[in-house]
Amino acid sequence: MSARLFKKFLKEQELLQPQKDPHIKDENDDDEEEEEEHVNSGSSINPFDLLNDGDHVSDQDDELETSEDIVLGAGDKQDPQELKGTSNSVSRSSHKSKKKKKKKNKEGACESTHKDEKSLDAILEALSLDVKTSALPRAPEKAKAVNTKLHDSLAKPPAASILEVDPKYLNAENELRRIFGSKVVKSFEKSNQTGPGSSRQVRGGRRGGYIPRKTVLVTASEHWPRWDGSFSMEFLEVKDGYHYFRYVHSSSYAQAQRAFEAAKAIHDLNGIASILLYNPYHLDSLLTMADYFKFAGEQQMSAESISKCLYALECAWHPLFTPFQGNCQVKFNDEKNKPMFTTLFAHMKNMDKRGCHRSALEVCKLLLSLDSDDPMGAKFYIDYLSLRADEYAWLERFSEDYQSDSSLWLFPNFSFSLAVCRFYLEKQESEEGTHALTAKSSSTELMKQALMLHPSVLKKLIEKVPLKDQAWTGIVKDALFRAEEVGIPSLDHLINIYVETNYLIWRLPDLQKLLRDAAQQIVETLKRDSSEAKDWACVRKEAFSSEKNEYRHLLVSDFSHSTPTLPPENLQPFMVDPRMMEGMHNEGLAANANEVLRAPPRDVTNRNALAVLFESMLPWVHYGDANGAGEDGDNLMNGNGQGNEEH
């Protein structure tokens, strides 16, 4: 557009505008001026940029001129002043729309917060928590306090608070460092890693680049297989403040379980070993191999199999499963949950044998808290671990708080262990010079009550420890301590378990003196008046009124500190659950294991040669003759170059 046409356009616009009195100002003049300034300042195109340096009209000017004519033609129907008004209205509307959007965003945020609060209210109502959301404080400290209270009310039932587990004491290596020092433990670990298999395992771990998952119960080794997720844990319900869970098997694990049952039916240990090649975390197979290594004398390999079981069990835990707080239940009645109890009990025994009594105590707490019925008899082992770990005050609190009654002192293990516990607490108070004024009985009184309630314990302790002082011969001749059995099946069985578990404690001279003094005082008292013994007999019969052995599922050999060893070819005890074997006494199980479980030599005369060939591959099959050729054959089948024991 040329300068001439632009000037002509401006003159025409001036003629079209109505004349105004310069002395009279409209009310909206100021607003229009401000709007014009806003439009001019906000416009991105300057109309004077369309002007050229001269009056020369170029081709580009012609193109712009034609486009301008089109715009003017369309604007003949609308006044340019109206166009300016529309532009102003558009700018105002856009400004208002932005404000509306901001208000809407604020309102939407408020609505979202209200929705979040409503959803929180619904969740709290679903959990049946008596909490008023209107009274919830908005300060972070108050909110944190409320959350901790809610968590405590859900996760810490008062009856199970005594069984809370401290995870920092679960690591046996840390306890060994506290006992022997870190230098001794490091040197021992280096000596174990210098074997021929250690370098291969480390190189294999580096090739795979596999970092095992961190767990609390055990520390996984780098050469262990990767967790395959073959089983998991599911949440069942919340009842009486306890969260109930159970393990669930996948299809691959169920198939491995069927293969294990088939191998168990024919006593095929090689078949069980082959199951672990494809299912490295099959629990029953690992437990079977752990028993095999234990009876074969390979304690380290047995402990490693148990650790693999614990690693797999912990990897399968549910996110809501918090067993260290004592508020979770995994019932032993479910077949899929039983390996967890068996594994924890074996791990507890391994920690005890290594001298890590505090770690074993924490595992025993965990085992006892998982099932209130105590299927493994953990409460008959927890007193021994508490005394070995010097947890005397905790043992007294446990006897008072567990199951909200104080009836535990009626059991043989607690009646004697509480007397020992009080003896050491009195000794600590005398050394520190602080004598607490408590209404509790003294250690001597507690020991006298234990001997009057369970008199048959004394004679068994004298034989088991053994106690060789001449004073014991006169004490045992008394009528109260003469009998070896009380005549109550349940009580006699529990006494055998106690003596087998706690006899090591009574080798200390101080405790022997305490026991001897209490027994002598009882003998002197009964010489004057024997009616007290009858009263305690009535208490004993009332506490254990059942005529059947209620604890026959607990084997005395399971609570023993000695490990019976058997020849590797005698594999029946690893394939058959000893609790299912009827007609076998618990006391003679370990002593007569070689005679009961040893299979006689088989005769190969008049038999199919192919059947004999396949049968000879089974490791427990024994072919012998009168010249002792079978012994040499067994030695060759072992592959270790070691002779067997005499048959």
The pair of structure tokens assigned to 630 is 């079978």
- 370 closest CA partner among 286, 287, 246, 494: 246
The pLDDT tens digits for 605-635 are 656 665 666 556 555 555 554 444 444 434 3
Residue in the structure block whose two tokens are 């408590």: 438
Judged against a pLDDT cut of 50, whether residue 151 lies above it is answered with no
- Under the banding of pLDDT at 50, 70 and 90, the label for residue 175 is confident
What mean pLDDT is reported for the chain?
Answer: 74
The pLDDT tens digits for 243-273 are 999 999 999 999 999 999 999 998 888 899 9
Q: How high is the pLDDT of residue 612?
A: 61
Eight-state DSSP code of residue 246: E
Average pLDDT over residues 427-445: 81
Judged against a pLDDT cut of 90, whether residue 33 lies above it is answered with no
Q: How high is the pLDDT of residue 611?
A: 60
Q: How high is the pLDDT of residue 40?
A: 45
Q: Please compute, for residue 151, the number of CA atoms within 13 A of its CA located in the half-sphere on the CB side.
A: 9
The pLDDT tens digits for 627-643 are 444 444 343 334 344 43
The pair of structure tokens assigned to 303 is 């402990």
The pair of structure tokens assigned to 132 is 């008023």
Average pLDDT over residues 466-487: 91
Q: How high is the pLDDT of residue 519?
A: 96
Rank 113-117, 299-303, 615-619 by mean pLDDT and report only the highest: 299-303
| Stronger pLDDT, 583 or 526, i.e. the higher one | 526
Q: How high is the pLDDT of residue 140?
A: 45
The residue count of the chain comes to 647
- 234 DSSP β-pair partners: 246
Judged against a pLDDT cut of 50, whether residue 647 lies above it is answered with no
Q: How many of the other CB atoms lie within 10 Å of CB of 267? A: 18
- 500 closest CA partner among 454, 559, 555: 559
The pair of structure tokens assigned to 567 is 């020849």
| d(C-alpha 178, C-alpha 452), whole Å | 40
Extents of the domains making up the chain? 172-185+213-377+558-583, 379-433+440-553
- Residue 352 near residue 385 (C-beta atoms within 8 A): yes
CATH, domain range 172-185+213-377+558-583: 1.25.40.10
Average pLDDT over residues 520-543: 92
| d(C-alpha 378, C-alpha 327), whole Å | 17
The packing angle between helices 456-464 and 509-528, to 10°, is 150
Q: How high is the pLDDT of residue 357?
A: 95
- Determine the distance from the C-alpha atom of residue 274 to the mean position of all C-alpha atoms in its chain, rounded to a whole number: 29
The pair of structure tokens assigned to 295 is 């009876």
DSSP string, 228-254: ---EEEEEEEEETTEEEEEEEE-HHHH
Give the angle 151-153-158 at the CA atoms, nearest 5°.
125
- Pairing, β 231-239 against β 242-249: antiparallel
Judged against a pLDDT cut of 90, whether residue 454 lies above it is answered with yes
Listed in sequence order, the residues at least 6 apart from 295 whose beta carbon sits closer than 8 Å to its beta carbon are 563, 564, 565, 566, 568, 573, 574
> What percent of the chain has a predicted confidence (pLDDT) above 90?
47
Rg over alpha carbons for the chain, rounded to the nearest Å, is: 43
Judged against a pLDDT cut of 80, whether residue 277 lies above it is answered with yes
- Residue 421 near residue 392 (C-beta atoms within 8 A): yes
| d(C-alpha 271, C-alpha 613), whole Å | 17
The pLDDT tens digits for 59-111 are 444 444 444 444 344 444 444 444 444 444 444 444 445 444 444 454 554 55
- 247 DSSP β-pair partners: 233
- 244 DSSP β-pair partners: 237, 329
Average pLDDT over residues 475-504: 94
- Determine the distance from the C-alpha atom of residue 370 to the mean position of all C-alpha atoms in its chain, rounded to a whole number: 10
Residue in the structure block whose two tokens are 């099932």: 371
Judged against a pLDDT cut of 60, whether residue 574 lies above it is answered with no
Identify how many contiguous H helices and E strands the chain contains and give both numbers.
28, 3
